[in-house]
């Protein structure tokens, strides 16, 4: 059972937690990678879920022998993602209700592997920026998830000790990052992820955000 009083802040991941953007990432990556002559399928991208987009590209670039630089490919993917977010996204079920409830109880942070340009697009499209006391992109960190830096930076911005933070994540890399930051983790698996028993590393698991909200109420 989750006792919200045991925590001084709740930190949300973004992709797959606030918004169903994981399928959009796969569309954007497949579109851009195909333009480079790649035959990668959306199922291949399961290997890099939770990583920063530059790290995803760095993983595939030597395998696929792409000529353009990582930053050029990244820019094309993020541009495509911003367009997809603006036209094809809405908050996942239970998200707004959970943010409404938590805002009256505790500081709320956002810590994501996504670049700031995409964070801005999601927060504007979903109209949820006002809920967050701290927003941190792994784009500004030397390493992305599964390194804990992005979570530690978010906690620091809120002046909260890491061990007093509760993180909401959907990916294994995110769970590993939060645990490495000495934070408690709620796992709400993104539905397109291949079931992974390693997700049991999380302290709590729920099918969806509504179930999580009912628990903390």
User: Which pLDDT does position 194 carry in this prediction?
Assistant: 60
| Residue of 8, 13, 44, 54 with catalytic role | 13
Q: Does the annotation mark 211 as catalytic?
A: no
Q: Tens-digit pLDDT profile for the chain (217 aa)?
A: 899 999 999 999 999 999 998 889 989 999 999 999 998 888 888 888 878 899 999 999 999 999 999 999 999 999 999 999 999 889 999 999 999 999 999 999 999 999 999 999 999 999 999 999 999 999 999 999 999 999 999 999 999 999 999 999 999 999 999 999 999 999 999 776 666 788 899 999 999 999 999 999 9
pLDDT of residue 192: 64
Q: Are 15 and 114 in contact (CB under 8 A)?
A: yes
Q: What is the CATH number of the domain that holds 35?
A: 1.10.150
Catalytic (active site) residue 15: yes
DSSP 8-class letter at 148 = S
Between CA 28 and CA 33, with CA 30 as vertex, the angle to 5 degrees is 105
Q: What is the pLDDT of residue 3?
A: 94
Nearest CA among 8, 26, 18, 55 for reference residue 160: 8
Quote the domain boundaries for residue 79.
Answer: 22-88
Tell me: do 126 and 204 sit in the same domain: yes
Q: Which two tokens stand for residue 127?
A: 């109209």
Residues 172, 73 share a domain: no
Number of domains in the chain: 2
47 and 70 belong to one structural domain: yes
Residue 178: C-alpha distances to residues 47, 128, 200 (Å) = 19, 23, 13
95: CATH: 3.40.50.1000
């Amino acid at each position: 059972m989750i006792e919200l009083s045991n925590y001084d802040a709740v930190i949300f991941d973004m992709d797959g937690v606030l918004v169903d953007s994981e399928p959009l990432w796969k569309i954007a990556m497949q579109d851009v990678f195909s333009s480079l002559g790649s035959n990668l399928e959306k199922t291949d991208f399961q290997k890099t879920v939770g990583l920063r987009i530059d790290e995803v590209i760095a993983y595939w670039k030597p395998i696929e022998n792409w000529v353009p630089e990582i930053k050029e490919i990244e820019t094309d993917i993020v541009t495509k993602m911003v367009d997809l977010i603006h036209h094809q996204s809405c908050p996942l079920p239970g998200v707004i209700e959970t943010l409404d409830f938590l805002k009256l109880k505790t500081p709320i942070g956002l810590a994501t592997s996504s670049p700031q340009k995409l964070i801005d697009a999601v927060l504007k499209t979903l109209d949820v920026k006002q809920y967050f006391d701290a927003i941190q992109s792994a784009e500004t960190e030397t390493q992305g998830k599964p390194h804990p830096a992005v979570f530690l930076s978010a906690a620091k911005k809120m002046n909260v000790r890491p061990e007093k933070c509760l993180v909401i994540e959907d990916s294994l890399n995110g769970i590993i990052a939060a645990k490495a930051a000495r934070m408690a983790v709620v796992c709400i698996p993104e539905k397109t992820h291949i079931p992974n028993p390693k997700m049991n590393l999380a302290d709590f698991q729920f099918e969806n955000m509504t179930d999580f909200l009912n628990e903390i109420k």
